[in-house]
Structure 1
Amino acid sequence: MARKRIAIVVQRYGPEVLGGSESLARSLAHLLSDVYDIDVLTTCAKDYVTWKNEFPAGESMDGPVRVLRFKVDRQRSKWFNIYNALMLKVPHTRWMEELWMRMQGPYSSDFLNYLDAAADNYQAFIFMTYMYGTTYYGSKKVKGRYLLVPTAHDEPFIRFRFFQETFGSSRHVVCLTDEELVLVKKNFRLRDDRLSVIGVPIGECLGDSRSAVEKYGITGNFIAYIGRIDVMKGVDTLVKYFNRYASESDSELSLVLCGSGPLKIPSSEKIYQLGFIPEADKFGIMHAALATVQPSRYESYSISVIESMACSTPVLVNGECAVLKGHCEKSGGGMTFFSYEDFKSSMDRLINDADLRQRMSLLGIAYVNENYSCDVVGKKYISLLDGLTTKP
């Protein structure tokens, strides 16, 4: 019997692309390629800020996964940030929302033309992330034939009128956490049988802690942040809290930042800025860290938090994010902070209480194995996709 062909649509793709939904898309593509023929439909952009075409257009292979890249018609306008801020402050019409999406991007006419010509070659589509142009415009071409993985946050954009169609025209919506499911049900009228909660598949997080810290010249105890270096991710708050803690305590603690992004961090002897690093090094850093910190208020899942738990490393997260708080409460593998005082108290406990770190390590590993192993996640997606491709 011929294998079903599934298309995964995502705004950016590749091992060198840093981002939660992008990493999820790649993990799913490889996981599902054991059962289906997987095509990833994506753009030539590497940078989500500009959408500049950096990868060559056309077909390539990422292991068993066929990747089709399409040129972005235009880079993001320099006026987008101003217009985006305006949309958050004033009442707006549907036309203003449509303009926001055109400016947000990415917009690729080559991608949309491909869907017009080749949509019937696929038994189903998986659209990653609700708020980018690849999903908004692409899903209109295949209404009723796609699974939406919105990676939704409790942010103003989710209440834009036109997203009612994006969610409503899907065959099924997959949320990454129970907290995201509550958010989606609050904002969209969807039957329960069109909603599921399936986490991100986490494989073996292999990395040598000793070689990683030696490679980057890291000495002593440190906490780590892995992700985009961006105000939207709360990295400015993390740096502010860390610098204050370092100045007020006797600890020789350092902060290691792994990732790239638009936020510029002043040089400091106690802050290591590693940029984008290979995955094995990332896991080595996670294994070696006293804890990893996720300061973002807006997360639909946070792969770095789950990977940290898989590396037996406790996490410290922004308690204002319901998803991150939920991970900590359900697992016992982490702590939350709402203020600098909370951050300071948590750091003191993590540094001074080895038994606490050990308990959180064991609880975190158990939580990941029970909910996010590749076997658990893969079976859920396969069952869902087989039903999606056989029902009328």
Structure 2
Amino acid sequence: MKIAFVVQRYGQDIVGGAEYFTRLVAERMRQYHEIEILTTCAADYHFWKNEYPEGLDILNGVRIHRFRNAAKRNPNKHTKIQETVYYSAHTVNDELSWINEQGPNCPELVQYISHNRDNYDCFVFFTFRYYPTYYGIKEVTNKSLVVPFAENDPALDLTTTKEIFERANGIIYCTPEEKKLVERKVGISKGKASDIAGCGIEVPKSILRTENEELQNKQYVLYIGRIEGSKGCYQLFEYYQRLLKEFPDIPTLVLAGLDAIEIPKHDKIKYLGFISEEEKYSLLGGAQFLIMPSPYESLSLVTLEAMASGTAVLVNGECDVLKGHCLRSNAGLWYQNYEEFRECFRFLCSNDHLRSKIEDNGRKYVKKNYSWEVIEKKYLQLFGLFDQSQKS
């Protein structure tokens, strides 16, 4: 089968989030089918500026078609339109304006899908909320799957969002919580094909201790990901600094990833910037636990990577997905206010024996639910919906 993965950005240097997820799945599934990527020239998701060369490319054996965006996002205009469609009475035309400004505004990509619909057996659209998914899925309705990456925000209430899920031939959810959320907010036609898959997690067989001299022989807790307000980082900094005032000897807070806000200056807050895959697992292996403060997640790869590495997690209990991982795995704790954050933080730091049990639970949870063997089987079953050789 020849299958197109449609995603807003794609590249070796795009780490984390739906785009990284898409690349992992594409590189894994190419052993079974011919996988091609249909994407834009954007590298940055704030403005969708064309940075990658347009045309054909190959990354790790996967063929990529990149198309130039027709316009960059105007943040002020986008925010104004979003406020209208999220929180005020509006029309479908207002929603279309939001989609166009949300971007990446790439009519050439949609045109390619329309002209080449017969050259692919299936189109898989990754992330429901962007321009390529809304317009692209209209061109290939009966050949489409959508991997929504849905979070509990007003975008799920839009008429245009309901159109996407109605047109899709099947849905690939990341977690039970995401499936429940979409079914409650959008309403899914009875009998529509779907499964809960997510992404495979593969921990390196040998993990070296971190080479960061400042962290060797030092206790630390870890945050990995985009450092921004929407990821709960302002609250994390507030809670951690309050805890420091009460208990100055708590472990150092180490952060890695893109810094989009100002990180507080403090001797016990260390920012490492971007890190390699090898360093990520070294840091996870040495951490007391991972902190995931985000209130909005549809899967959270780094939470699963921590569990697979035998590292406990402390997560924001306002996020049903993160709390669900902890409940099903018995591999982490969650908080919903400062007092709970303080008690969970100190509990994980002071109970080595229990933390060891938690860590073992995490490994078992990921192996059972997020090994590549499990994920590949689910994707293959859904791809089978479009396999004409099986139907003849």
TM-score class normalised by the smaller sequence: over 0.9
In terms of mean alpha carbon deviation, does 271-280 or 294-303 score higher?
271-280
Identify the residue that residue 268 of structure 1 maps to in structure 2.
266
Distance 1:212 1:51 in 2: 35
User: Per-residue deviation at 1:88?
Assistant: 3.1
The Cα shift of 1:55 comes to: 1.4
Q: Distance between the aligned counterparts of 2:289 and 2:43, measured in 1?
A: 29
C-alpha distance after superposition, 1:279-304 (max 9, x if no partner): 11111111111111111111111111
Contact 2:221 / 2:254 at 8 angstroms: preserved in 1? yes
1:175 aligns with 2:173: yes
Does residue 200 of the first structure (1) align with residue 202 of the second (2)? Answer: no
1:233-279 CA deviation, whole Å, 9 max, x = no partner?
11111111111112220324111111115322233222222222211
The aligned counterpart of 1:191 is 190
Equivalent-residue separation in structure 1 for 2:187 and 2:125 (angstroms)? 17
Per the alignment, in what secondary structure is the counterpart of residue 243 of structure 1? helix
Q: 1:7 aligns with which of 4, 8, 17?
A: 4
Deviations, residues 288-335 of structure 1 (Å, cap 9, x unaligned): 111111111111111111111001000111111111111000000000
Contact 1:148/1:172 (<8 A) preserved: yes
**Partner letter of residue 64 of structure 2?**
V
Query: Which residue number in structure 1 is paired with residue 150 of structure 2?
Result: 152
How far does residue 352 in structure 1 lie from its aligned partner after superposition? 0.7
Match of 2:254 among 256, 270, 282: 256
Question: In the alignment, what sits opposite 1:246?
Answer: 244
Q: How many Å apart are 1:28 and its aligned residue?
A: 0.7
Work out whether residues 210 and 216 of structure 2, in 8 Å CA contact, stay in contact via their aligned partners in 1: no
How far off its partner does 1:139 sit? 1.2
1:218 deviates by 6.1
Whether 1:323 and 2:308 are equivalent positions in the alignment is no
Confirm whether residue 133 of structure 1 aligns to residue 110 of structure 2. no
User: Which deviates the most, 21-30 or 188-197?
Assistant: 188-197
1:44 aligned onto 2:41? yes
Q: 1:58 aligns with which of 49, 55, 60?
A: 55
1:323-361 deviation line (CA, Å, top 9, x unaligned): 111100000000000011111101111111001110110
Report the counterpart of residue 212 of structure 2 in structure 1: 213
Name which of structure 1's ranges 241-250 and 164-173 shifts more when overlaid on structure 2: 241-250
Q: How far apart in 2 are the matches of 1:248 and 1:206? A: 39
| Contiguous gaps of at least 5 residues in structure 1 | none
Tell me the SS of whatever aligns to 1:88: helix
Greater mean deviation of Cα atoms: 200-209 or 146-155: 200-209
Matched AA of 1:281: E
Cα gap change, 1:61/1:82 in structure 2, threshold over 3 Å: closer, same or farther? same
* Alpha carbons of structure 1 residues 104 and 218: separation in structure 2 relative to 1, 3 Å: farther
1:111 alignment partner AA: L
Deviations 1:72-91 (A, max 9, x none): 11111031223323433322
Q: Secondary structure at the match of 2:87?
A: coil
Equivalent position SS for 1:140: helix
Whole-Å separation in 2 of the counterparts to 1:169 and 1:40: 21
Q: How does 1:299-378 map to 2 (within 5 A)?
A: 299-378=297-376
> What is the deviation of 1:175?
0.8
Q: Distance in 2 between matches of 1:26 and 1:318?
A: 27
**How many pairs are equivalent?**
388
Which residue identity lines up with residue 305 of structure 1 in the other structure?
T
1:279 equivalent in structure 2: 277
C-alpha deviation, 1:60, in angstroms: 1.3
Say whether the 8 Å CA contact 1:205–1:311 is kept in structure 2: no
Aligned partners of 2:210 and 2:283 also within 8 Å: no
Q: Given that residues 230 and 236 in structure 1 are in contact (C-alpha distance below 8 angstroms), is that contact kept between their aligned partners in structure 2?
A: yes
CA RMSD of aligned residues (A): 1.7
Supply the distance in 2 between the matched residues of 1:223 and 1:209 (Cα, whole angstroms): 18
Q: Closer, same or farther in 2 for the Cα pair 1:274/1:336, shift >3 Å?
A: same
Q: Deviations over 1:142-192 (max 9, x none)?
A: 112111110111111111111111111111011111111111111223224
Counterparts of 1:90-109 in structure 2, within 5 Å, are 90-109=88-107
User: One-letter code of the match for 2:2?
Assistant: R
- Give the equivalent residue in structure 2 for 1:33: 30
State which of 161, 164, 187 in structure 2 corresponds to 1:163. Answer: 161
Deviation string for 1:26-62 (max 9, x for gaps)?
A: 1110110000111011111111111111211121111
TM-score, length basis structure 1 = 0.94
Q: Which consecutive unaligned segments of at least 5 residues does structure 2 have?
A: none
Partner residue in 2 for 1:18: 15
**CA deviation after TM superposition for structure 1 residue 10, in Å:** 0.8
Select the residue among 64, 73, 78 that pairs with 2:70.
73
1:116 counterpart residue number = 114
Moved over 6 A (4+): none
Output the amino acid matched with 1:46: A
Distance 1:140 1:175 in 2: 20
What SS does structure 1 have at the residue aligned with 2:387? helix
What percentage of aligned pairs have identical amino acids? 36
Report the TM-score when normalising by structure 2: 0.94
Distance 1:6 1:232, change over 3 A: same
Greater CA drift, 256-265 or 375-384: 256-265
